[in-house]
Structure formats: structure tokens, C-alpha cells
Amino acid sequence: MEESYLVSARKYRPSTFGSVVGQKALTATLKNSIATDRLAHAYLFCGSRGVGKTSCARIFAKTINCQHRTPDGDPCNECDSCRDFNEGRSLNIIELDAASNNGVEDIRNLVDQVQVPPTTGRYRVFIIDEVHMLSTAAFNAFLKTLEEPPSYVIFILATTEKHKIIPTILSRCQIYDFNRITIQDMIDHLQYVAGQEGITAETAALNVIARKADGAMRDALSIFDQVAASSRGTITYQSTIENLNVLDYEYYTRLVDAFLASNVQESLLIYKEIRDKGFDSQFFVNGLAGHFRDLMVAKDPQTICLLEASDDVRSTMAQQAKKCTPQFLYKAMELCNNADLNYRVATNKQFLVELTLIQLCQLLSPSPTNSGDGEGQLKKIEPVSAPSAAPAPQQQASTPVAKPAPPVAVNPQPSAAPTVAKEPISHAVHPAPAPKTFAKVAPLGSMRSISELNDISIHGNRKKTEQAEANQAGVKRNEPFTDEDFAKAWNEYAASIPTEKIVANAMITCKPKRVAEGHYSVRALSLLQQRQLEEARPAILRFIADKIKNDNLSLDVDIIESEDEAPPSTWRTAKVLDRMKTDNPYLDTFIAEFGLKPD
């Protein structure tokens, strides 16, 4: 009778510790414990699917009862105990699937079997697979037996989800964590299987199978059987990607070249070609993000080991990575990640992906708003140097009208002379606004920027310039003043900033007190008031110093910490408003636009 076909995952299932793939350190520990006869009463094998948990449990159970172990510590597969196990009729090794036997009654039946000693051999081994599927009541019924089993009983629990097991079970077991099988280990084992089956397989094709298996050796063998069935004895790279519907990395390589060349049309045509082959757009976006990640690790020789690919693919990606800047790769990964997050909620998913591709083409342009010549390309902006703008501040201290004179004398055209002379003169008369850029004062929308701009608009640039000149000269004003003078200047500043409601109301509600000579302290009603007063403190002190002609001033801003220190209504209003502004950051804008008085 002809022997029936057996899938590779079962045919090449490990039968000795030496044949276990990718778990050398763990199997060495198990063999040493058997050799030294230091066996625990309970083990827990954890790891993802297909990494060898159940296989190692069976090998371990067979080895501890083997009568003639090999010098390497593996079972002999020839003694009565090994033959009984291999033929599936051993009474000393019992397997239980907790996924379908997860109730209290199932555990009670197991406990009853524990009381029966072995007929042959030294131990009875109970292997409970998918142990995390047991119910809480079943776990509790199992606790006492697991903690103190008979001397001849060993429990081996296996699970893919250790976090679902209750801590009282974990504390009673020796825990072994299985590694995911590496790409190279899978390729080596698949080459061995292909040799045993008489199949010719390209290394690149086995690499695709190993990546598709995602760390599971059992999945890799199943995929290998699938590809081998369609290839009729020769597994090629092309047949593998067609059979598994895998998107070739060369598509991503072509796309990145299009991004680097800012070629929008080419990137959209490649995306259409991918869609015509039947690939899902979200799968494509995730693959593109992974390709950018691979380029990032391939860029540095120290991290190229993180690239799970063949040597040829590593070399190709390293060459392309040299063309990409780190900023380009980081931004590209961010765009792909955003596209993946927005994909499910997007109404027009194709448009979302195409927009992402266009944005990727624009990454190397200095200005994404400066389009090209109507062809969808981006025109790079040439760097602009501004040597003529630098002398403007220096002209203020010397002769402001002397330098514009030469252009007027040189130009013989009377129509252009007034224009040339007029523009420099206007800059010389008003030199202060020329070098000012409010972006350098503070970020847009911050209270510091509003305070300083408002201070400039009220008091004028002249006073600020005079004070800066005085500070540069090292002269500090030190006119005598009283607390009433300080309070009067304080109230005047509060009245001069009607657009800054929070700071103005805080200054009206909270009055400063003298702590030492020239040093004052004010206590805000809320964290928001404290923050705004601290940001406005430089402008407040400048204003008061100008009023009382004294630059030796300082101000501390604290917060009232108890309700007794403030009027109940004021305290309650400030606290409620502070909480509302924390929950809704747009409330400040709403209060400012409608001129409300929150305090």
C-alpha cells in the first residue's frame, strides 16, 4: 500500500533537541537539567505560534523517560519508552488541549489521572497546550495539584499568551520564553527540507517564504509546501511572489527613485500598476513604510544587520539608501504612517494614497507651495543671500542719508533717480522696523508675543530704543519711589492692555506687595493667571521702570494655595475657569475675541 502524503510541518517535526530550529540556548538548558537530574515539577513554555513549544515539550517528556539517552542528551528513539511514544501508545505522556477542555470538570479528571503512578519509566508527564484558555475556576481547581504534585508527575504547560495566565499559576512554574525564528534559520531549514524532497529552490524565494512566515517555522513549512506544489520541483523567486501575492520590493525601489527625482507622474503610474495587479492599497502603504524603514537601517553599516533580507537585497538597498537623507526617510515614514492611520476613515481611499505619493515627491523641495512649470514638478528655490540688509542697523548710528547718495549721482536717468534715492532714504529714516521679525520674539499665538507686541504699540519704539541704549551704556536709573508709585504704575499698565483680558484682570485682582527694596511679590488666583503673569513680567517691569525711573526692580509670581487667602467668589471662579481652559484650549481665544471678563 502506498504511503499517504504527509505535510512538511509534520514530516519534519523535530524529534530530538538537536533538530529544534532557532532555540539553541533553551534546549541546552533543558538537556542540562535532565543530565544533572534537576527536574522541576512544573514548566511553562511561552512564545508565538510555530516556534517549537509543543515539540520541545514532547521531546523533553520523551527524554526524561528514555532508558538509553545519547551522549548529547537526546532520546535514543529505540527503547520501549521511546517507541511507545513515537507510536502514540505511551501511557506515561498525556496531552490535554485546554482550548477544548477548559472547565472545572476537565481539570478534576486530570487530577484523578495524576494519582495513577507510571507503569514503566520514572515519570508521568502531563502536557497542557494553550493553557491560557482555562477558565478562572479551572485555574483555581488546578492550583493545589500544580504546586504539590506526586514525585513522579511533571507538568508542562504551553501558551502563546502568557499575560492571560493568573499570577498564582506563573509563580508555581519554571518559565521558558521561546524566541521567534530568525529569517536566516528558516532559510537554512527550508534548504534542508528542499534537499530532502529533491526540490530546487532559489535563496531569494526562500527568503520571501521566511519573511511571509513572520517568525513561525510551522507557517514557513506550510507556505513551502504550497509554493512547491505549484512550481513542480523548482521554486523560483518569480513563481513565489506570484503564488503568495507578494509585492516585489523592486516596485518600492522604483517608487523611491521617483520620489528622489520629484517625479509625480511616475509615482502615480507605478501605483496604478500595483493596483492593477490586485494589491490592496493599505497593504501597499504598509509595505512602502516598511521599505523606508529598511532603507533607514541599511544606511548605516552598524544597523544593516537589522535588515532581514538576502545579501543581494541588502547591497541594493544600501546603494539606494546612500541617495536618501535621514530627514527625507524620517518624514517619508511619518507620511506613510499617517496615511495608514487615516485609511480606514477616508471616503476616497485611492485619493488618500495618491495624495501621500505626491507629498512624498515634494519632500526634497525647499518650498512645497512653489510649483514648477505646470508639469507637476517642484522648482527648488535658490538660496537667497541678503548682504544689503545687514548694514541697515549700522546706518542708524552714523549718517542715515549719506550712503544712498552715490546711486543717485551715478544714474543719469532722471526718471529712475527719484525711485532709487527714495527707497534707501525711507529705510534710513525708519531703521527700527527693517531688522524686526516678530517670529523671533515668540511662537505664534503665545502670550509672550502678544504682550511684547502690545507693549511696543502703546509705548512706541522710541522709548524702547532709548532704554536699550542706556542698558548698553551700562547706565541704570535709580530714582527713589514709594509703594504708591509702584502700585500706580502697576494699575496704569493693566489699563493699557485692554486686549489681554487674562493679564489685565489678574493685575486688577492681584496686587503686588513689597518683599525687599525694589523686590515685589504677587500671588495669582490660578495656575493660568500665574503662567500669564510670568510671561508678561518683562513687559510689566519695563513699563513700571520707565514710569518711576528705576531699573532695579524684580517681581515674583506665586499662586494662592488655599481658599482663605482670597475672596470665595473670586477663588471659585478662577478655579472653575482654570479647569475649563485645561479641558478646552480654545477657550482663551473665545474670551479674547468676545471681550469677556473671566475673572
- Which domains does the chain carry? 8-177 (3.40.50.300), 183-244 (1.10.8.60), 249-361 (1.20.272.10), 440-593 (no CATH)
C-alpha distances (whole Å) from 91 to each of 61, 65, 107, 121, 509 are 12, 12, 18, 10, 87
Nearest to 211 by CA among 190, 197, 239, 195: 190
Q: What is the pTM of this model?
A: 0.56
Residue 596 has pLDDT above 50, yes or no: yes
Q: From its phi and psi, is residue 453 left (phi > 0), alpha (psi between -120 and 50) or beta?
A: alpha
Q: What was the pLDDT predicted at 530?
A: 83
Phi, psi at 137, each rounded to 5°: -65, -40
Residues 218 and 216: their CA atoms lie apart, in Å, by 5
Q: What was the pLDDT predicted at 566?
A: 52
Q: What was the pLDDT predicted at 161?
A: 92
Q: What was the pLDDT predicted at 204?
A: 85
Q: What was the pLDDT predicted at 570?
A: 52
Taking only Cα atoms into account, the Rg of the chain, rounded to an integer number of angstroms, comes to 39
pLDDT band at residue 285 under the 50/70/90 scheme: very high
pLDDT band at residue 574 under the 50/70/90 scheme: low
What percentage of the chain reaches a pLDDT higher than 90? Answer: 28
Q: Region 362-388: what's the mean pLDDT?
A: 52
- Biggest distance spanned by C-alpha atoms of the chain: 121
Rounded to 5°, angle at Cα 559 from 553 and 562: 140
Residues 387 and 383: their CA atoms lie apart, in Å, by 13
Q: What was the pLDDT predicted at 595?
A: 64
Nearest to 522 by CA among 469, 480, 567, 559: 559
Higher-pLDDT residue of 370, 580: 580
Residue 381 has pLDDT above 50, yes or no: no
What percentage of the chain reaches a pLDDT higher than 70? Answer: 76
Q: What was the pLDDT predicted at 66?
A: 87
Nearest to 537 by CA among 567, 507, 573: 507
Residues 426 and 434: their CA atoms lie apart, in Å, by 10
Side chain identity, residue 553: L
pLDDT band at residue 224 under the 50/70/90 scheme: very high
Of 6-10, 40-44, 373-377, 576-580, where does mean pLDDT reach its minimum? Answer: 373-377
Residue 72 has pLDDT above 50, yes or no: yes
With beta carbons less than 8 A apart as the criterion, state whether 165 and 131 touch.
yes
Residues 486 and 483: their CA atoms lie apart, in Å, by 5
Query: Where do we find the cell 516598511?
Result: 290
pLDDT tens-digit series, residues 422-473: 444 333 334 444 444 433 433 433 344 444 444 444 444 445 445 555 555 5
pLDDT band at residue 383 under the 50/70/90 scheme: low
Residue 208: strand, helix, or coil: helix
Residue 269 has pLDDT above 60, yes or no: yes
Higher-pLDDT residue of 246, 268: 268
Q: What was the pLDDT predicted at 270?
A: 93
Q: What was the pLDDT predicted at 577?
A: 67
Q: What was the pLDDT predicted at 220?
A: 92
Q: What was the pLDDT predicted at 2?
A: 52
Of 61-65, 171-175, 317-321, 417-421, where does mean pLDDT reach its minimum? Answer: 417-421
